[in-house]
Amino acid sequence: MEHLLEELLSDRIKATPPSFIRSILKTASNPEIISFAGGLPNPVSFPQEELLVSMERIVRTYGSSLFQYSITAGLPELRQYIADRYNQKFGLHLSIDNILITTGSQQALDLISKVLLNKGDGVIVEKPSYLGAIQAFSQYQPNFYPVELTESGLNIEHLQAALQNDVKFIYTIPDFQNPTGLTYSAENRDRIYEILKEQDIFLVEDDPYGDLRFEGERLPYIGAGRLPNSILLGTFSKTVTPGMRTGFIISENTELLKYISVAKEASDLHTNIFSQYLIWDYLEHNDYDAHIAQIRKLYQTQAQFMMDAMDRYFPKSVQYTRPHGGMFLWVTLPEGISALSLFPKALEKKIAFVPGDPFYIGMKDTNTMRLNYTNADSETIDEGIHRLGDLLKDMIL
């Protein structure tokens, strides 16, 4: 059967890498291991008591509508809430027809590539990029054109070169990028906008972390509100609950959203309607921004704690980014040091991180790694960075 299976599998699935993060989840969930590998929000970000109150209220108020089949685009009340919030915060002009609810942002990545990509079509991604996005896109066997991500955003020359290819869309995370924690500067955003407005391609701005800024001012989107071919992704995973898989796609291109809706219908009919009612009711009855402010404060403390520990325990030749928000730090080791080969040694010392390799297209033994600071307390962060620092000293000296 194994030989047979190989013959029966699609080329697509053979081209899709399993997620490194999820394959080490079991190891990393060993309570003895200090893990900076995941991308888990701190449970403090789940308003459990308030959600329980909302559950009782919606069951009493809406009864069977919570449990029945529902429409593909998502709960109109929740879509209206999202439209209103983005209009107010970012001066956009959205109606519910511009919003489509997805089963987490991961599904948005799948649906966008499902609707746009033929085998061999071009996709521009950041170098490095989010591994879950690389995985989603890989299912459709595109050609990837990675563009270097710098401290201030995309390398513009590389972007212009990449655009010489037959490209369907460009995928970016302009705020507190995953994995690097970097944020595109206002100037860089404007440069990208000026270039893309002349191009017949889609711009995907993935914004799961924008609300989690703990330093500096929020910057405008690159495309949302000014590029007709803009696709903006949002989620409640980092500010309410990831377990309920509720994300959304925002686009002024309602024709595109109709095709995405057909793909969604064929993929899972609609997103869990109970959870949509629940999140909407929670948002309507609580001070969401005050809740987000709490999360932000906690993550700022934890990020600062991790950076201080790195200053204390890491060799000076090791560099790292200083994020203004979000959930991740990006560490660069001296040239020639493979973070992947460090990984098993770190596990022996009961410390886990994500080596940089799966965030790149086809690169091996890179000298980079991603660290998450949102899901460990100060003491654990100190102990983990201490252990990692000792290992690095052994390796580098």
For residues 351-390, which are near its own copies according to CB under 8 A?
none
**The binder of its own copies chosen from 28, 36, 72, 189 (CB under 8 A):** 72
**The binder of its own copies chosen from 31, 32, 64, 344 (CB under 8 A):** 64
Nearest distance, CB of residue 116 and its own copies, angstroms: 6
Q: Is the CB of 191 or the CB of 245 nearer to its own copies?
A: 245
Stretch that binds its own copies, among 144-152, 262-270, 326-334, 358-366 (CB under 8 A): 262-270
Q: According to CB under 8 A, which residues from 2 to 21 bind its own copies?
A: 2, 4-5, 7-13, 16, 18-19
Q: According to CB under 8 A, which residues from 232 to 261 bind its own copies?
A: 237, 241-245, 253, 255-256, 259
Q: How much is the CA Rg of the chain, to the nearest whole Å?
A: 21
Nearest distance, CB of residue 58 and its own copies, angstroms: 10
Q: Which x/- pattern, by CB under 8 A, does the window 197-236 give for its own copies? A: ---xxx-------------------------xx-------
Query: Among 154, 201, 159, which Cα is nearest to 173's?
Result: 154
> Which residue shows structure tokens 């201490």?
386
Nearest distance, CB of residue 259 and its own copies, angstroms: 5
Q: Which x/- pattern, by CB under 8 A, does the window 15-54 give for its own copies? A: -x-xx--x--x------------xxxx-x--x-x--xx--
Contact between 183 and its own copies (CB under 8 A)?
A: no
Nearest distance, CB of residue 354 and its own copies, angstroms: 15
Nearest distance, CB of residue 215 and its own copies, angstroms: 26
**The binder of its own copies chosen from 30, 61, 67, 377 (CB under 8 A):** 67
Nearest distance, CB of residue 17 and its own copies, angstroms: 8
Nearest distance, CB of residue 131 and its own copies, angstroms: 10
Nearest distance, CB of residue 256 and its own copies, angstroms: 6
**The binder of its own copies chosen from 66, 78, 279, 337 (CB under 8 A):** 66
Q: Is the CB of 59 or the CB of 219 nearer to its own copies?
A: 59
Nearest distance, CB of residue 277 and its own copies, angstroms: 9
> Using CA atoms, how far apart are residues 36 and 343, in angstroms rounded to an integer?
12
Q: Is the CB of 40 or the CB of 219 nearer to its own copies?
A: 40
Q: According to CB under 8 A, which residues from 128 to 147 bind its own copies?
A: 132, 135-136, 138-140
> Using CA atoms, how far apart are residues 189 and 197, in angstroms rounded to an integer?
12
42 contacts 296 by C-beta, under 8 angstroms: no
Stretch that binds its own copies, among 185-193, 270-278, 280-288, 301-309 (CB under 8 A): 270-278
The count of residues interacting with its own copies (CB under 8 A) is: 84
Q: According to CB under 8 A, which residues from 144 to 163 bind its own copies?
A: none
Nearest distance, CB of residue 334 and its own copies, angstroms: 33
279 contacts 239 by C-beta, under 8 angstroms: no
Q: What is the 3-state secondary structure (H, E, C) of the chain?
A: CHHHHHHHCCHHHHCCCCCHHHHCHHHHCCCCCEECCCCCCCHHHCCHHHHHHHHHHHHHHHHHHHCCCCCCCCCHHHHHHHHHHHHHHHCCCCCHHHEEEECHHHHHHHHHHHHHCCCCCEEEEEECCCHHHHHHHHCCCCEEEEEEEECCEECHHHHHHHCCCCEEEEEECCCCCCCCCCCCCHHHHHHHHHHHCCCCCEEEEECCCHHHECCCCCCCCCCCCCCCCEEEEEECCCCCCCCCCCEEEEECCHHHHHHHHHHHHHHHCCCCHHHHHHHHHHHHHCCHHHHHHHHHHHHHHHHHHHHHHHHHHCCCCCEECCCCECCEEEEECCCCCCHHHHHHHHHHCCEECEECHHHCCCCCCCCEEEEECCCCCHHHHHHHHHHHHHHHHHHHC
296: number of Cβ within 10 Å = 18
